[in-house]
Structure 1
Amino acid sequence: MRISELANATGVDLETIRYYEKQELLPAPAREDNGYRSYTVEHLERLSFIRHCRALDIPLADIRRLVSFIERPAEDCGDINSLIDQQIARVKARLKSMKALEKQLSQLRAQCDNRHHGKECGILTELVSAAHGEACACHSDG
């Protein structure tokens, strides 16, 4: 199959497929006489695997490690467990950060009672004040 067919079958755009090839996550395809890339079912399966890992927000470096385990299935899967444990820790840290962001935005939203406009808006006042404080801190760092 051609790259456009592979892209359509997996929902991965052409440039991303080429990038994965350059990163050696996806094996280089054979070339037809006319120079077109010729992809196989194995490419489709590998690309689907990569896409699924990316949907789980697994970094490319970790996907590379997972692919190496696929290529050598006799190896112990303890490293795979460790890799996924690390991903879980990253997700938990991101969730904690998102909760803090939600709290900050909720506090900001509480600054407005819908009775004021423009310069009197509590949200705008708070945002301008915070931005001014950051600008002053940056300016004083010199």
Structure 2
Amino acid sequence: MEGLTISQVAKEANVNIETIRYYERRGLISEPTRTESGYRKFPQEVVEDIKFIKRTKDLGFTLGEIKNLLAASNDEKFRSEEMHDFATSKMKEIEAKIHDLQQMKTLLEDLVEKCPGSGISKGECPIIKNFKGVN
């Protein structure tokens, strides 16, 4: 029987064996065939799929999104319009997060400027007072 063992896949994809098992349980990679003695035998393509998962995960995609991206990339009936719509939606989500983070940064800059840094009690700290909603 041709194929790679789980340890070979782990080595080639630069992940640990538990990561492969986790991806398998989550449906990100398909369950491999097994030898008569029960050992998994993965196709070579699974290494590329795991590398794909790692890259997209590092970019901040959720496992659900990654599952959909993998399905689209492996689909014979690939539709670029769907990929375009997905990417556009993800960009809008990222822009909203950037906006929220910028607001948070501005608030913290203001609070840090008001905070003397030392010599005040917890009850006088402008940062804690703001977070508790106390003026």
Is the pair's TM-score, using the shorter chain for normalization, greater than 0.5? yes
Higher relative contact order (CA 8 A, sep 6+): 2
CA distance in 1, matches of 2:12, 2:119: 51
Structure 1 residue 39 displacement after superposition:
2.6
Partner of 2:30: 27
Deviations 1:78-128 (A, max 9, x none): 0011111111111111111111111111112112345x32528x9x71233
RMSD of aligned C-alpha atoms?
2.6
Structure 1 residue 21 displacement after superposition:
1.0
Aligned residues: 131
Question: Where in structure 2 are the equivalents of 1:1-142 lying within 5 Å?
Answer: 1-114=4-117, 116-119=118-121, 125-133=125-133
Instruction: Give structure 1 stretches of 5+ with no counterpart.
Output: 135-142
Q: Is the 8 A contact 1:62 1:83 kept in 2?
A: no
TM-score by length of 2: 0.77
Change (3 A) 1:41 1:109: same
Amino acid at match of 1:125: C
Partner of 1:140: none
Higher helix share: 1
Q: Percent same amino acid among aligned pairs?
A: 24
CA distance in 2, matches of 1:118, 1:6: 57
CA distance in 2, matches of 1:51, 1:133: 41
TM-score by length of 1: 0.74
